[in-house]
Amino acid sequence: MEVVGKELAMSDLVREALSDSLFYKHSGGGVTISGGEPLLYPEYLLELARELKTQGNVHLAMETTCCVHWDRIEPLLDYLDLFIVDIKTMSTEKYKEVIGGSLETTLSNIERLIESGKAVRIHLPIIPGFNDSAADTDAYVDYLGRFAEKLSGVDVLPFHSYAAGKYAQLCLEYAYRGVKDLEGRQVLPLVTALRLKGLQVTVGGIVDGAARDQAADH
């Protein structure tokens, strides 16, 4: 075990993030706020987004599950350009039992973001034995197909075991110990079905840098 990272004042964090503004301008990228779940800290998040936008006018994205009350999200609409939202399962029961949240809340917030005109990109982490069945594929396709013309895109993220080392360091049991990483071909049925619905889909988040909202943010 070792301590990594350091505490920063808000002004120092903003200065660090904006130090690469020239790179963002030429690459079409920007700053992505991620976690953990950034929306667990709504006041800090709002202040950070406001400072980054007003001081640097950079493209701002956030990775989130959107599993919070809408009043935590709405103030961010003035500052965030892109919402990258995980949908870990389309099963209400599994979402509650395994994720510990409300699928209805997540989907409601996604739909409100779309209605607001914000750019929304969906992440689908595909986990063996959890959300990789034919029924899971059908549920994802049926739901996301409704918004094919409104979503910025969908990134299908095949399972990998990178977290195994972290669990070992924390002396925690890793439930997917010994499970092989998924290969791109194994998620091809989902990718193909989503594309047939008119969605822009990547595997692993590798995208064409021509579209700003699909550019790799830093």
Q: Which has more confidence, 109 or 215?
A: 109
CA-based max dimension of the chain: 48
Sort 111 into a burial class: Cβ within 10 Å, 0-12 / 13-18 / 19+.
middle
Q: Is the peptide bond before 36 cis (omega within 30 degrees of 0)?
A: yes
Sequence-distant (6+) residues with CB within 8 A of 54 are: none
The two counts, helices (H) then strands (E), for the chain are: 8, 6
- Of 118, 14, 23, nearest in space to 56 by CA: 14
Residue 119, CA distances (Å) to 36, 109, 111, 160, 213 in order: 21, 13, 11, 27, 7
Angle at 89 (CA atoms; ends 155, 201), nearest 5 degrees: 15
pLDDT digits (tens, 9 = 90+) for 107-155: 999 999 999 999 999 999 999 999 999 999 999 999 999 999 999 999 9
pLDDT at residue 217 is higher than 80: no
Helix (H, G, I), strand (E, B) or coil at 57: coil
Q: Is residue 216's pLDDT more than 50?
A: no
Q: Is 26 helix (H, G, I), strand (E, B) or coil?
A: helix
Q: Quick check: helix, strand or coil at residue 145?
A: helix
Please say whether the beta carbons of 150 and 132 come within 8 A. no
Backbone dihedral angles phi then psi of residue 20, each to the nearest 5 degrees: -105, 20
pLDDT 10s digits, 57-103 = 999 999 999 999 999 999 999 999 999 999 999 999 999 999 999 99
The per-residue pLDDT for range 179-209, each reduced to its tens digit, is: 999 998 999 999 999 999 999 999 987 554 3
Q: Which residue has the higher pLDDT, 169 or 67?
A: 67
Domains of the chain, earliest start first: 10-214 (3.20.20.70)
